[in-house]
Amino acid sequence: MFDCMWRAEEIDLSKDIGHWKSLNDKERHFLKMILAFFAASDGIVLENIGMRFLSEVQLPEARAAYGFQLMMENVHSEVYSLLIDTYIKDEKEKSKLFNALEEFPCIKKKADWSIKWIEDKRSSFAARLVAFACVEGIFFSGAFCSIYWMKKRGLMPGLTFSNELISRDEGMHTDLACLLFSKLNNKLNKQKVREIIKEAVVIEKEFICEALPCKLIGMNAKLMAQYIEFVADRLLV
C-alpha cells in the first residue's frame, strides 16, 4: 500500500478547464453528479473506518492498513474538492455539489444504504465488512468506468489521471476487505453475502444507468449494467 502513496499536488488540472468548457451540458451535468457522489461517499468511508472498523479490528497489520487507508481517503477528498472548485465557478452550484446528500435523491439513496451499515448495531463485523467491500468495489465502479470513457475520448487529463490513482486505491481497499473476510473465524453464510452484494448491484445500476444515465456521455447502459455485474461477481469469487 505504502508504495502507492501519492499527493493531491500531483494532479495537473491546467488543461481541464478548456476541455470542461468544450463539453456539452449533458456531459457537464453527468460529471458534476459523479464528482458530487465522490465527495459525499468518501466522507462516509472515512466515518466507517474511524467509528467502527479501527475499534473492532485487533490484527496489528489490519489496523496499520486501515490507518493508511484513512490517510489516502483524505487525499481523495482533497482531490474531489479541488476538482469541483476548479470546474464549478458558480458558488450556489458549488455549494449544492458539496451538499449532495441533501440535494440529490439518487446520491442520497446510495449514501443511506452505506450509512445504514455504519449505524447497524446488530449485524456482525463480517456482514459490515462485505457491505463496505460493496461500497468501495461496486458503488464506485460505474463512476470510475465513465471517467475512463472520458479518457478514451482524450478529454479531461487531470480528472482522468486522478481517476486512475483513486480507482487503484479503491481496488486495494476492496482487496483488503476480501483478505480480512478470508481470515475471519466467524464468516457470513454465502446466502447473506449474496443478498448484500445483490442489493448493492441494484442500487448502483439504478444510479448509473437510470437516475444518472451514462447514455448522457454516449455510453451503452446495457454494457454498463453488465460491467457492474462483472465487478460484483469478482467479489464473490
Residue range 123-157, pLDDT digits in tens? 999 999 999 999 999 999 999 999 999 999 999 99
- Kindly name the residue from 66, 80, 87, 227 that is annotated as catalytic: 80
Q: How far does Cα 105 stand from its chain's mean position?
A: 17
Report yes or no on 3 lying in a domain. no
Strands (E), the chain: none
Q: Does residue 16 lie in a domain region?
A: no
Let me know if residue 211 belongs to a domain.
yes
What percent of the chain stands above pLDDT 70? 99
The span from the CA of 112 to the CA of 104, in Å, is 12
DSSP characters for 139-168? TTHHHHHHHHHHHHTT--HHHHHHHHHHHH
Q: Specify the pLDDT at position 11.
A: 97
Q: Mean pLDDT of all residues in the chain?
A: 94
Is 11 part of any domain? no
In a domain, 8, yes or no: no
Is 80 labeled as catalytic in the residue annotation?
A: yes
pLDDT digits (tens, 9 = 90+) for 57-105: 999 999 999 999 999 999 999 999 999 999 999 999 999 999 999 999 9
Judge whether residue 3 has pLDDT over 80. Answer: no
Residue 122 carries which side chain, given as an amino acid letter? R
Contacts of 47 (CB under 8 A, 6+ apart): 118
Assess if residue 209 is contained within a domain. Answer: yes
Residue 167 domain flag: yes
CB-based contact 170:42 (threshold 8 Å): no
pLDDT band at 1 (very low <50, low <70, confident <90, very high): low
With CA atoms as reference, report the closest residue to 139 among 165, 174, 164, 172.
174
Residues 30 and 25: their CA atoms lie apart, in Å, by 9
Domain assignment present for residue 9? The answer is no
Enclosing domain of residue 104: 22-236
In this prediction the pTM is 0.94
C-alpha cell, 12: 495537473
Name the CA dihedral angle for 142, 146, 149, 153, rounded to a multiple of 10 degrees. 180
Q: How many domains are contained in the chain?
A: 1
| CATH code at position 96 | 1.10.620.20
